[in-house]
Structure 1
Amino acid sequence: MFSLALILAAFGGGVLGALIGALPAFIFTGFIGLIGVGVIAAGGPATILTDVTFGALFGPHIAFAGGVAAAAFAGNKKRYLESGADILTPLNKTNDVSVLLVGGAFGILGYIINAIYVHLALPTDTVALTVFTSGVLVRFIFGNTGLIGEYNTARSEVAATAEASKRKFIPDSKTFSFIVIYSLGLGLVVSYLVDLTQIDVLGFTVSAALLIFVQMGFNIPATHHITLVAGLATMATGNIYIGTLFAIIAGLLNDIVARTFNSNCDTHIDPPATAIFICAFIIFIFM
């Protein structure tokens, strides 16, 4: 089930994720994925897509997860970052071997966890489930705020209670409608294109690459959960409207997960990956 060569390669992928940062590593997942999609569309093999984009080099469960773990360690244990949830900053600046080793260790862990999930034939996107699992482990190992975060206990108990009472796990009506509309739009176009090309990760690779604008400081949302779930549902059913419906579900679920796991926290549990594996489970089981 395990390959020594892949375990060693996963260590390198995790080190890379720590070195350049979790989000930059994931952005390259998108760009390399676009190349892989192009090769497939031209009639070539799927090697670049399967073994590079989602493999030891840029697989989110390896490079991104390794970067997330290294950031949590660098921020919360070494105090190199203002927050252990900072997934944008390349950790090359730390010049600390231990930070890279944490990234490499979680790269290996990501490979092993995903291999186990695949061996068990879990009916979901195992890469996304691995990213979530790794993030939870990071939260408990390197975090200080618990699984769903905590409010500033340094303030008075009354103030903390008042703030806690205002915490919303469900988006308000304005945010809800905004997410529905942009998920609807993306779902429609991606479902159409996936139905046309029969490449379910087409939209995902575009969305992942677009996150380069987040790295540049622009305020754009992550959309890869929406586009991937739309692609999976469309391929499973052959129906672009069902694909669009699942795009909306993924968009809303991502927001709920972000409010639940990433509010007032000091490590990163990835909301898009969480939304993906939940939606993929539903799609794979029932469709």
Structure 2
Amino acid sequence: QVVASASFDGFVCIWSEADAKEARGDGDSGDGGDVAMAGASTSGNGDGGSGDGGWRLASSFKASRSACLDLGFAPPQYGLRLALSFQDGAVKFFNALDTFRCADWKLVQAFEMGSGSGTTEVCHKICWRPFSQDMPEMILIGGSRQAAVLIFESDLDRWSQVAELAAAEGPAPVSDVAWASACGKANELVAFASGKVAYIAEVRDALDHLEVTTVARCEHGAAVFQVEWNRLGTTLATSAGDGSVRLWRPDLTNEWQEMAQIN
């Protein structure tokens, strides 16, 4: 297990699960003074099983001079790969050179939000597309004006925007994004939150481009902060500033309806 954390100073810390021997200090920590433990358990039975070891600081590095706004690991099929977005509009991708120790990380791609349009934009949220065989890497990002889908062109070693998702009221900051599992679906579903509405959009492959169609507006009485799909991508959970959590599913006519609310 690996956990990444980043802060306002642009530093990134990579934490890996340590075994019980490392947590007790009986063995070589491997990184000398750079090792830090968090939440090590002393109540285990000594068999070295999961939960006995706690966590160790595997690596830390300066990724930017700007504050980190969001980060996320790629699906494991792409390797140990981390995406980060920063306050200055940069989105950067780092790969682990050694997936076992997680000590060394290399910047492999980067792009600036809004660089092609000449406008300044910030990526508030970033989400990887769930892995599918024979499909390229894709991400869904939530910016200060809209959400967008980007695809990784491996032959050119770059990320390119292939679709835009805007709120019905026009350009507005996006507070969260989520990409549903493609399992058993003819078309894929994504969700993004902007203002008091969470939007559900359908993404279809139309030969040389992606077609995006908004299929539902999930309205709240306050600003929507988070959106999250269930594992199958059939139910969307949304949470808002009024303390409510709502669950949304399509009915028999494929119209999205609120099915439950938690206050």
Choose between structure 1 and 2 for higher RCO, CA contacts under 8 A separated by at least 6 residues.
1
Please identify which structure carries the higher helix content.
1
TM above 0.5, one fold? Answer: no
TM range (shorter): under 0.3
TM-score normalized by the length of structure 2: 0.24
| Bigger radius of gyration among the two | 2
Please identify which structure carries the higher strand content.
2
